[in-house]
C-alpha cells in the first residue's frame, strides 16, 4: 500500500493509487441508492401519487441496479467515471 502526502494530510491509497476513502464513499452511495429503491418499491399507489409517480415508474426505478446511480447524486469529479480507477 502506498501513502500519498497532500499538504499535511497522509492519504492511504490502494495498489493502483485509488484512495480508500473514495472507494468507501462509492460503496456507501451504492447502499444508499439500493435502500432508497427498496423503500420506493414498498410504497402504495396513494403514496406514489403524493410524490408524482405512478406504479410503473416506481417499479422501473426500483428495478435499477445499485451502481446505476443518477448523475445528480455524483460529485462533479465523479460524473461519468464511476468505476474509473478500479
Between strands 9-13 and 2-6, the pairing is antiparallel
pLDDT tens-digit series, residues 30-79: 999 999 999 999 999 999 999 999 999 999 999 998 888 887 777 655 54
Is pLDDT at 12 greater than 60 in this prediction?
no
- In which domain, by residue range, is 56 found? 2-68
**Domain presence at residue 56:** yes
**Domain presence at residue 83:** no
Cα three-residue angle 28-42-26, rounded to 5 degrees: 10
**Domain presence at residue 79:** no
Cα three-residue angle 30-61-28, rounded to 5 degrees: 10
**Domain presence at residue 44:** yes
**Domain presence at residue 60:** yes
Backbone φ/ψ region at 35: left (φ over 0), alpha (ψ -120 to 50), beta? alpha
Give the pLDDT confidence score for residue 64 in this predicted structure.
Answer: 93
Give the whole-angstrom CA distance, residue 12 versus residue 67: 24
Give the pLDDT confidence score for residue 61 in this predicted structure.
Answer: 93
Instruction: Work out how many domains the chain is built from and give that number.
Output: 1
**Per-residue cell: 58:** 416506481
Amino acid at each position: 500500500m502506498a501513502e500519498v502526502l497532500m499538504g499535511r494530510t497522509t492519504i492511504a491509497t490502494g495498489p493502483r493509487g485509488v484512495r480508500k476513502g473514495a472507494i468507501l464513499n462509492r460503496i456507501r452511495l451504492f447502499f444508499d441508492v439500493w435502500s432508497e429503491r427498496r423503500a420506493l418499491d414498498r410504497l402504495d399507489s396513494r403514496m406514489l401519487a403524493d410524490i408524482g409517480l405512478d406504479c410503473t415508474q416506481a417499479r422501473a426505478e426500483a428495478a435499477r441496479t445499485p451502481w446505476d446511480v443518477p448523475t445528480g447524486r455524483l460529485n462533479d469529479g465523479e460524473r461519468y467515471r464511476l468505476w474509473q480507477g478500479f
